[in-house]
Amino acid sequence: MMTTMPTTLEHAEPNTVTPRSTFIVRFVTTIVLWSIALVIAFSGYELAFYALICVFGLIALWEFYGMLDHRGLPNFKVTGMICGAVMLVGSFYYFAKMGPARSYDFETAVLLFFLLTVFARQMFARLRQDEPLQTMAYTLFGLLYVLWLFNFITKIVYVMPRSSDGAVTGQFYVLYLVAVTKFSDMGAYLTGSVIGRHLMVPHISAKKTWEGLFGAILFALLCSLALFKLMPGHLSVLTWTHATILGLLLGFAAVVGDLAESIIKRSTGVKDSGNLLPGIGGALDLLDSLLFTAPLLFFYLRLVIRVA
């Protein structure tokens, strides 16, 4: 389900690795990921689709805690991973069996479970000035930032009504989400590399430019409109107006999501969240933009289009 392109709005600058070789590695990785995602999505096999979401989500959370470890910031990594796994499994079961109508109650229960579990874990740790507060805060932030936001992808799958034969249809909106988000990343990279001159937020990233921002939004808009044209049957709740608005909103949100991870990487002193994917980095580097675009699409479907 996942694909990627470089998630920066960058100036081109000298590097020991040639841009051509970097692009080739990223392109190959992208093709492999897209092939797996498309086979799973169009098969309609729910467990495989969910497994893909679960694996990437948990790896991304592990990488987040690893970034904290790199900086020496206290966290309950194992406790966080257990909470994350419980949330992902419970979310899949709840939405698959009961639907999204009572999702508010489920979300409240999950957040309460996070809070109680982390507090209970802290009771067995030694108290050192303000370290308990830091440990609990970092652990909970990871759960909310990575898994809680990423889990909106599961909600998108099940917020859409099932087909007449009972098959899920929401996976096509997830494909739409991923494509638009990653086209935003691609537009940011290409535009920023070619014509990027004006830095946007140099205190966060020395490479992101305003030109890259506009390129990201433009590419996201074009992708949104193209997908709606090519897949009207699978994206039946959308209209040209919705496709236009979503293209603009998702393109902007993807840039914000990329900047959000840049803040975390700068704070923890790492270049990439991991080295899982050749030419890309870690799973969190792959998902950073989706952490902001997935909730946005979900609430647009629920509150604006009112699909459920």
> Among 144, 148, 153, which Cα is nearest to 52's?
153
Percent of the chain beyond pLDDT 90?
46
> Among 190, 209, 189, 193, which Cα is nearest to 201's?
209
Mean pLDDT of 255-275: 91
Helix (H, G, I), strand (E, B) or coil at 226: helix
> Among 258, 139, 265, which Cα is nearest to 273's?
265
Mean pLDDT of 294-298: 96
- For residue 124, the model assigns a pLDDT of 84
253 vs 273, higher pLDDT: 253
Q: Is the pLDDT of residue 272 over 90?
A: no
Q: Is the pLDDT of residue 82 over 80?
A: yes
| Paired tokens of 197 | 């001159």
Mean pLDDT of 39-56: 81
Contact at 8 Å (CB) between 177 and 294? Answer: yes
In which band, very low, low, confident or very high, does the pLDDT at 206 lie, cut at 50, 70 and 90? confident
Q: Is the pLDDT of residue 16 over 60?
A: no
- For residue 13, the model assigns a pLDDT of 45
Q: Tell me the one-letter amino acid at 280.
A: I
- For residue 99, the model assigns a pLDDT of 77
Q: Is the pLDDT of residue 97 over 90?
A: no
Of 35-49, 104-118, 234-248, give the lowest mean pLDDT range. 35-49
Q: Is the pLDDT of residue 195 over 80?
A: yes
Mean pLDDT of 85-114: 85
Torsion of CA 150, 154, 157, 162, to 10 degrees: -160
| Paired tokens of 134 | 């830091």
52 vs 18, higher pLDDT: 52
Q: Is the pLDDT of residue 9 over 90?
A: no
Contact at 8 Å (CB) between 215 and 230? Answer: no
Using the Cα atoms of residue 33, residue 39, residue 43 and residue 45 in order, give the sign of their dihedral. Answer: negative
Beta-carbon contacts of 199 under 8 Å, excluding residues fewer than 6 positions away, are 206, 208, 209, 210
| Paired tokens of 211 | 């030109």
- For residue 17, the model assigns a pLDDT of 53
In which band, very low, low, confident or very high, does the pLDDT at 50 lie, cut at 50, 70 and 90? confident
Q: Is the pLDDT of residue 268 over 60?
A: yes
> Among 144, 146, 169, 172, which Cα is nearest to 158's?
169
| Paired tokens of 305 | 């289009």
Helix (H, G, I), strand (E, B) or coil at 47: helix
- For residue 10, the model assigns a pLDDT of 43
Helix (H, G, I), strand (E, B) or coil at 13: coil
Residue that has been written with the tokens 């910031």 in this structure: 73
Torsion of CA 292, 294, 298, 299, to 10 degrees: 10
This prediction has a pTM of: 0.86
Phi, psi of 277 (to 5 degrees): -110, 120
CA dist., res. 138 & res. 244, Å (int) = 37
- For residue 279, the model assigns a pLDDT of 66
CA dist., res. 261 & res. 264, Å (int) = 5
Torsion of CA 132, 138, 143, 148, to 10 degrees: 120
**In the predicted model, what is the mean pLDDT of the chain?**
85
Contact at 8 Å (CB) between 159 and 130? Answer: no
